[in-house]
Chain A
């Protein structure tokens, strides 16, 4: 039962990362505009972050699909999600009017079209999935359970 919930959390978080990463990777110019709009990073590193984030998300997603290092990947997911929440919050606090670019898009939008509370709530939802996997990383059909199954030792009772 608990393994079942773990499996749903793992594959759910995997889907989030793969979808968000794939949309960003498909339009890397847009990803640059999205990162630039946060007005948070020094000029030189915007390019690097915009290039790295989509593929980092894809990697986290693929690792979760196969279930390799689930707890570690969940911890990394939390780190990335908290980073996103901080970035969105500072934009909100400073009165910037941007789209988070979480699932593609991004950049400046009209003041009436921001959706900061929704964006943060959504990320908190993803944090819950990751949190479950940190507390209890075991799930069905994962490489972890295959790699760490108990070896048959002679004389074991």
Chain B
């Protein structure tokens, strides 16, 4: 074997060794890439699954919970009129229209602040209230539909003569926007708890007896030019709560607005 030949063989061996090292390194680097990619996928998938589980458990806190009953002092004269409920005597000199959504936080604040005063005026016969339960925020519960289900149930509660307590209880235990609302079974249970015994109530809640007239009423009310409010920035629109007497919006900025209404009507 000549020297040149030996050198060539050695070079070939060196080249082969280099290739092997490079291949080993590439293989290791490929393996690392796969491990890293897998780790990223696992971390993200775990986060998303955890998120869905956490969200569901948070939202479902209201599931199956019994809605506490809020009692109302007096037995107020109540009758349903289409998609509205009239509370108070026909002889009252002021009829106050109250436009609400059971999911609307501002409506709850209004109820917290003024329900007591309004109740007194109804009792002494000076004021009668026409409640319009609307579906402005129907998409804002998860799943959607609480505004409609609760409005329908409230009308059925009025048929059964238990509107006042039903209405007050739902506002006192209002679910949060974006969260789960009360389902039909919970609404039926609340009806029973406020003393509704007729099976028509439960059937009506389940079947959505008044859903259609509620939605029609909402369409009509929300597009009524007389009921559009100023939201600032030159924006006008319909919002809840809105209060009106004889088709004109009542400004409730003044805490004595109710007394003023009565004295003006007097």
Interface of A with B (CB < 8 Å)? 25, 28-33, 36, 43, 46-48, 50-52, 54-56, 58-60, 62-63, 68-69, 72-73, 76, 110-113, 143-144, 147-148, 150-151, 153, 155-156
Contact = CB atoms under 8 A, between A and B. Distances in A.
Given A55-B48, A68-B39, A69-B39, 18 more contacts: A28-B54, A28-B59, A36-B140, A43-B143, A52-B52, A55-B54, A56-B44, A56-B51, A59-B44, A68-B36, A69-B37, A73-B40, A147-B35, A147-B36, A148-B32, A148-B33, A151-B28, A155-B21
B176 interface: yes
Given A43-B143, A153-B25, A30 B178 contact: yes
Q: Determine the main DSSP class of A at the interface with B.
A: helix
For A51, A63, A73, which residue has the most chain B Cβ atoms within 10 angstroms? A51
For A33, A63, A112, which residue has the most chain B Cβ atoms within 10 angstroms? A33
Contacts of B35: 147
Interface string B73-86: 00000000000000
A108 to B, nearest CB: 10
Nearest to A111: B235
Contacts of B178: 28-33, 36, 50
A52 B55 CA distance: 9
Contacts of B52: 48, 51-52
A68 B40 contact: yes
B51 A51 contact: yes
Interface of B: 17, 21, 24-25, 28-29, 32-33, 35-37, 39-40, 43-44, 46-48, 50-52, 54-56, 58-59, 139-140, 142-144, 176-179, 231-235
B108 to A, nearest CB: 15
Given A28-B59, A68-B40, A110-B232, A153 B140 contact: no
A43 B139 CA distance: 9
B48 A52 contact: yes
A50 B143 contact: no
Contacts, number: 105
Q: Determine the main DSSP class of B at the interface with A.
A: helix
B144 to A, nearest CB: 6
A25 B25 contact: no
Given A33-B140, A51-B55, A56-B51, A72 B36 contact: yes
Contacts of A47: 55, 142-143
A144 B178 CA distance: 40
Contact of B36 (A58, A59, A69, A110): A69
A28 B232 contact: no
For A59, A68, A147, A151, which residue has the most chain B Cβ atoms within 10 angstroms? A59
